[in-house]
Amino acid sequence: MDFALTEEQLMVKDMARRLAETEIKPVAAELDENHEHPAEIVKKMGELKLMGIAVPEEYGGGGMDNVSYVLALIEISKACASTGAIMSVNNSLYCYPVMAYGTHEQKMKYLPPVAGGEKTGCYALTEAGAGSDPSGLLTSAIQDGDEWIINGEKKFITSGNVASYAVVAALTEKGKGYKGISSFVMDLEKTPGFKVGRVEEKLGINASGTAELIFENARVPVDGLLGNKSEGFKQMLTTLDGGRVGIASQAVGIGRAVLDEALEYAKVREQFGKPITSFQAIQWKLADMATELDAAELMTLRAAWLEDNGKPYEKAAAMAKMYASDVTMRAAVEGVQILGGYGYCKEYPMERHMRDAKICQIYEGTNEIMRLVIANNLIKGK
Ligand SMILES: Cc1cc2nc3c(=O)[nH]c(=O)nc-3n(C[C@H](O)[C@H](O)[C@H](O)COP(=O)(O)OP(=O)(O)OC[C@H]3O[C@@H](n4cnc5c(N)ncnc54)[C@H](O)[C@@H]3O)c2cc1C
């Protein structure tokens, strides 16, 4: 077994780390405080091919593998989890389904601006009544000549307030539950009948907007249908497998920031006349964090490697997402504890890490749903 990274993977990781340390980390607290979409940073990331890492160069992406994507996303999320969320959705939830299910013409039209970071992409599946169970979605798409007419409201859509492009799930056959779902790709700026609804106030990842998308007799060209009609649910399951590798990476990045900052603080903070690192209680917290984060990172890289090598990775992705987000949440709570009162205050970034970590246990399938996915795979002998 070879754990060594290729030259290209190392190069991407270093490039992402440099960008993260010099241009993202210094402004992360301000972006969080102002709930500001990091438009300039996203543009720069696009120029460096980080917004469409695995998109072939022909369609404006980086033409790299998913291991490179994981390595880069960990670095970006370590500096700013909100920017990590935007990057993850752009790559995994917008670019991937267009790449996997789009025709050459759709890829030429819908990938370059988003993979190049000029425009942002989003993925709209969730609705008020359809979260963990997307078969309850109500948004409909009815063909009318050379257009689809879309009606419905999507909820909690990452980057929905700033996105120019979207992949949207809608029912093309009512009464068939998940078997009637199809996916559509669209240019939101050229979709009459579309508007952004409420932008949520959240606990964390505040620089990443979370918005409602409202479609009222919205008209999408007939060629907006992604892949075949009624195959949206199958497409969604595969898209979310990759997305979960992204969320696992985001979690590992947040966890790495927690560990670095807790360690740095504990080495210099003195109580009872000694650095707090001399207390076994603190040492054990740091040791647990480091061990669990290494395990989470290895699981995440394994899932990406399986994907890159064309092997089944649904279970590995669910395990990585669940484990990485659970250990990062635990690490963040302990990180605040290690900093004591300072951990609870905004003078240090630790409280932000704790707020940001929580979402990784919820989106792209809650960790309860991850356990269902893992158990279903086990029962089927996969
Ligand atoms: C900040 C943010 C960003 C998001 N971004 C996007 C996005 O870009 N695109 C998008 O489409 N969606 C997005 N979502 C939606 C997100 O994926 C859903 O919130 C998530 O899947 C859970 O759905 P829900 O909130 O409706 O919870 P529910 O499904 O109502 O779940 C409530 C609780 O019940 C549990 N539960 C439900 N079913 C089961 C079961 N069968 N067994 C055991 N427990 C169960 C859940 O685990 C959870 O604890 C985002 C959400 C947030 C908060």
**Same-fold call for 7-115 versus 121-231:** no
The mean pLDDT of 18-23, rounded to a whole number, is 98
Residue among 321, 363, 370, 372 whose CB has most ligand 1 atoms within 8 A, to mutate:
363
- In the predicted structure, residue 44 carries a pLDDT above the cut 90: yes
pLDDT in tens, 239-273: 999 999 999 999 999 999 999 999 999 999 999 99
Q: Is 44 exposed, middle or buried (0-12, 13-18, 19+ CB in 10 A)?
A: middle
* Distance separating alpha carbons of residues 3 and 301, to the nearest angstrom: 10
> SS3 string of the chain?
CCCCCCHHHHHHHHHHHHHHHHHHHHHHHHHHHHCCCCHHHHHHHHHCCCCCCCCCHHHCCCCCCHHHHHHHHHHHHHHCHHHHHHHHHHHHHHHHHHHHHCCHHHHHHHCHHHHCCCCCEEEECCECCECCCHHHCCCEEEEECCEEEEEEEEEEEECCCCCCEEEEEEECCCCCHHHHEEEEEEEHHHCCCEEEEEECCCCCCCCCCEEEEEEEEEEEEHHHEECCCCCHHHHHHHHHHHHHHHHHHHHHHHHHHHHHHHHHHHHHCEECCEEHHHCHHHHHHHHHHHHHHHHHHHHHHHHHHHHHCCCCCHHHHHHHHHHHHHHHHHHHHHHHHHCHHHHHCCCCCHHHHHHHHHHCCCCCCCHHHHHHHHHHHHHCCC
Q: Which amino acid residue places its CA nearest to atom 12 of ligand 1?
A: 126
Find out whether 355 and 202 touch, Cβ atoms under 8 Å: no
Tens-place pLDDT, residues 95-143: 999 999 999 999 999 999 999 999 999 999 999 999 999 999 999 999 9
pLDDT of 1: 84
Distance 320 CA to ligand 1 centre (A): 18
Tokens 């210099």 found at = 268
* CATH for 233-379 (3.90.850.10, 1.10.3720.10, 3.40.50.800, 1.20.140.10): 1.20.140.10
User: 98 near 42, Cβ under 8 Å?
Assistant: no
The contacts of residue 36 (CB under 8 Å, 6+ apart) are 30, 207
371 CA to middle of ligand 1, Å?
Answer: 14
Nearest-atom index, ligand 1, CA of 366: 47
Q: For all residues of the chain together, what is the average pLDDT?
A: 97
Q: For ligand 1, what atom is nearest to the CA of residue 363? A: 17
pLDDT of residue 175: 87
What's the rounded mean pLDDT across residues 271-298?
A: 98
Q: Which CATH superfamily is domain 7-115 in?
A: Acyl-CoA dehydrogenase/oxidase, N-terminal domain (1.10.540.10)
Average pLDDT for residues 312-338, to the nearest whole number? 98
For residue 63, the CA-to-ligand 1 centroid distance in Å is 32
Give me ligand 1 centre to Cα 343, in Å: 29
For the domain spanning 121-231, the CATH number is 2.40.110.10
Whether 213 shows a pLDDT value over 90: the answer reads: yes
Q: Global pTM?
A: 0.98
The residue ranges of every structural domain in the chain are 7-115, 121-231, 233-379
Report whether residue 89 contacts ligand 1, using a CB cutoff of 6 Å: yes
Q: What is the model's pLDDT at position 2?
A: 87
Q: Are residues 336 and 358 in contact, defined by beta-carbon separation less than 8 angstroms?
A: no
Using the atom order of ligand 1, give the atom closest to the CA of residue 368. Answer: 47
**Span 192-220, mean pLDDT?**
98
Q: What is the pLDDT of residues 149-202, one digit of tens each?
A: 999 999 999 999 999 999 999 999 988 889 999 999 999 999 999 999 999 999
How much is the average pLDDT of 67-94?
98
110 lines ligand 1 (CB under 6 A): no
Instruction: Provide the phi-psi class of 36: left if phi over 0, else alpha when psi is between -120 and 50, else beta.
Output: beta
Query: Whose C-alpha lies nearest to ligand 1, atom 17?
Result: 363
pLDDT at position 355 = 98
Model confidence at 218: pLDDT above 90: yes
Reply yes or no on whether the pLDDT at 374 is more than 90. yes
Q: How far apart are CA 197 and CA 219, in angstroms?
A: 18
**Which residue has its alpha carbon closest to ligand 1 atom 25?**
131
Query: What ligand 1 atom has the least distance to the C-alpha of 154?
Result: 11
Q: Is the minimum distance from the CB of 361 to ligand 1 under 6 angstroms?
A: no
Q: Is residue 71 within 6 Å of ligand 1 at its C-beta?
A: no
Q: Does residue 156's CB lie within 6 angstroms of at least one atom of ligand 1?
A: yes
Q: Is 307 part of the annotated catalytic residue set?
A: no
Say if ligand 1 is within 6 A of residue 67 CB. no
* Per annotation, catalytic residue among 75, 307, 364, 368: 364
118: its two tokens: 């000029």
